[in-house]
Every structure is written in C-alpha cells, then in structure tokens.
C-alpha cells in the first residue's frame, strides 16, 4: 500500500514538473508576454503644430507669445479629450485641426494668408493609419472647415483628392458649413498681401503666416491618424498647391509605422515626400521615430534647401516634434502625464 501511494506521489510530481516545463517553453513565454501586453492599456498621445519658420522673440511680445500658447493648448486639450473618452484618432485630429482653423492667429481657415487676387484658397488632408484611407481638398474658398471636407472625401467618396469648384460642389452635397470668402480674411492678412504687392518689407513686430496647422494621434485601439490644413503662401498665383493636401508629402499615417503632419516650404516637402519617407524608415529599416525624423528633417531637407518641420507619433505612442527652422509652434500631450506647448528649440 505504501508503495502504491509512493508511486502515485511520484507520478504527480512528474506531471507537475512536465507542466512547469511546458509553461516555460519559448512559445509559452511569448504567448504570456503577448497576453500581458494586450492587457496593458495603450499609451494615448496627440501632437499638434501651427506652422514653422523665422519667429523672432520680439515679434511674440513681452509675454513670450502667450496667446499662441493658449491657442495651441485649446486645440491640444480638445483633441486629447476625444482620446481620453475612448474616441478614435481620426476624431481627435479632426477636432484639434478644426479649432486651429477657427483661430485667426494661424495660417488655416479663418486667418489664412491671401493669394495674389486677394482671396483665401484653402487646402487640407487627412489619413487613417488603420486602413490607409485618405482624403484631401485643395483650392477651397467657402467651406468653413476644410478638414471636415477632406474627411468626407475620404469617407463618402471613391476618391482621394478633390479641387476647386468640384470640391465646393461636393461640400454642398454633403451639407457642410459654408461661409463667404470674406469670412476667412483678417485685416492682418490683407496688410501682409498689400505689403508684398508693394515690395515692402515686413514690420519688425509682425508675425507672418508660417505655414500649416496639423495634428497626429494614436488612440486606445492603437490606430494612428494625421491631419493637415493650410492657406498656403502669401501672394500665391496660378493655383499653386503646396504639400499640405498631398498624401505622403504633408500628411501620412500607417499603423505599421507612424503618423506625420508637416509644415514648411511645401515645394521641398513634396519633392522629398517627407511624411512617407519618415514612416518608411521606421517600417522598413526599423529605425526609431526620432532617428527617422532627424534624418529627413535635419538631414535630407537641409541638404536640399528645405525649411520647416514635422510632428509625428509612432505605434508605441512615442511623439517627435522635429524642425530645422528657427521655431515651430507645437504641442503634445499623452497618457503618461506629459503636456507641453513650445515655439523654440529651448
């Protein structure tokens, strides 16, 4: 009898040991790690920009540009609130950009710079990293929020980009809010155009339009999105289009790598396909987002004579704000508690 109990005890010990060995195999460990990672909450993150260029401190005034920081913070917090409530990255970037489009301090929507004929012509684009869906519009003149129209192109049409009268017609069919072109025009932008047409230099205390506005984000499901909106260049002619509405140049998002929104001298960003190039370095070479952004913005762009910057977020929620110009209006916030807005490198 004792021998029987001993045999059963030895058998139980052997079974337990075998089970332990099975649980500690590489495959089991990998499965356990994957389950742990899946259970861990994803990092939420959003970043925004309001243009890059030469920004002298005296232009900002004695308060260091407090009104610009306030405008960035409003858009940043509104976009992050969407993420915090479980909303999508697409909704977050759309929300942030809409607010920036309504802020006359920035070169998008109301307060956009004016073309040679004295009118505002607006461009915007948006992209989903989940399925690579994208939408863009260019030469819009009456749609209050061009980013909304770009998103409707992405979601409600078989196309990626619509321009001019066709984009306006599509906006009317979708019932988007329309305003007279004069609604976008501010006294500051009129003065800037008049000065350029006269060939005069800018006053030392005038902060000119510095490019686009944009946002990138990652949501709780790990999906990335990017959005960009702009009024383009002061005194632009012949229907000029910059990088902001060009998927791959001014805007790009792919869950496999990163989401990018760019701002700067558009012709250089188009030639260098900046947004996609950064994501390609992350996806195909396995580079960190910081390394990829620096290589493109401070390496390739500088070598080619291009000035500007980007905001980006990768699949891990890491945020990068990179620029090669004297300054860039920017901000970021994530679920680790980081929240900041800035203009200069330091």
Residues involved in catalysis: 212
H helices within 138-288, ranges in order? 146-156, 164-173, 187-198, 266-272, 274-285
Paired tokens of 145: 């929020």
Distance CA 234, CA 239 (A): 12
Three-state DSSP at 320 gives strand
Q: Which positions ≥6 away from 297 have C-beta within 8 Å?
A: 274, 308, 309, 310, 322, 323, 324
Paired tokens of 330: 């920017």
Distance CA 297, CA 244 (A): 16
Through-space distance between the first and last CA atoms of the chain, rounded to whole angstroms: 81
Q: Judge contact between 330 and 321, C-beta under 8 A.
A: yes
Q: Judge contact between 141 and 114, C-beta under 8 A.
A: no
Distance CA 277, CA 164 (A): 28
Distance CA 241, CA 266 (A): 8
Q: Judge contact between 308 and 211, C-beta under 8 A.
A: yes
Sheet with 161-163, strands from edge to edge, namely: 161-163, 134-140, 122-128, 224-230, 213-218, 45-53, 327-334, 339-342
């Amino acid at each position: 009898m004792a021998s029987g109990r001993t045999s059963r005890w030895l058998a139980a010990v052997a079974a337990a040991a075998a089970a332990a060995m099975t649980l500690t195999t590489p495959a089991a460990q990998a499965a356990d790690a994957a389950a742990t990672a899946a259970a861990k909450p994803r990092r939420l993150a959003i970043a925004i920009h309001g243009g890059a260029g030469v920004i002298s401190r005296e232009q900002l005034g004695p308060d260091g540009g407090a009104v610009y920081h306030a405008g960035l913070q409003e858009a940043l917090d509104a976009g992050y609130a969407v993420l915090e409530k479980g909303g999508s990255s697409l909704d977050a970037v759309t929300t942030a950009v809409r607010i920036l489009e309504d802020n006359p301090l920035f070169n998008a929507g109301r307060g956009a710079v004016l073309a040679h004929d004295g009118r505002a012509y607006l461009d915007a684009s948006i992209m989903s990293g989940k399925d690579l869906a994208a939408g863009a519009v260019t030469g819009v003149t009456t749609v209050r929020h061009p980013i909304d129209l770009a998103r409707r192109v992405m979601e409600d049409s078989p196309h990626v980009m619509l321009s001019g009268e066709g984009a306006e017609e599509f906006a009317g069919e979708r019932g988007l809010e329309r305003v007279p072109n004069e609604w976008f025009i501010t006294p500051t932008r009129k003065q800037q155009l008049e000065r350029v047409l006269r060939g005069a230099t800018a006053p030392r205390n005038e902060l000119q339009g510095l490019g686009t506005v944009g946002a990138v984000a990652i949501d709780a499901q790990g999906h990335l999105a990017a959005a960009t909106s702009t009024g383009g260049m002061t005194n632009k002619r012949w229907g000029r289009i910059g990088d902001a509405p060009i998927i791959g140049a001014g805007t790009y998002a792919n869950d496999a790598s990163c989401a990018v929104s760019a701002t700067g001298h558009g012709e250089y960003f188009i030639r260098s396909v900046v947004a996609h190039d950064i994501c390609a370095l992350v996806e195909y070479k396995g580079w960190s987002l910081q390394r990829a952004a620096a290589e493109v913005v401070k390496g390739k762009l500088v070598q080619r004579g291009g000035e500007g910057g980007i905001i980006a977020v990768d699949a891990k929620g890491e945020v990068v704000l990179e620029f090669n110009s004297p300054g860039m209006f920017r901000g970021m916030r994530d679920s680790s508690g980081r929240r900041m807005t800035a203009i200069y490198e330091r």
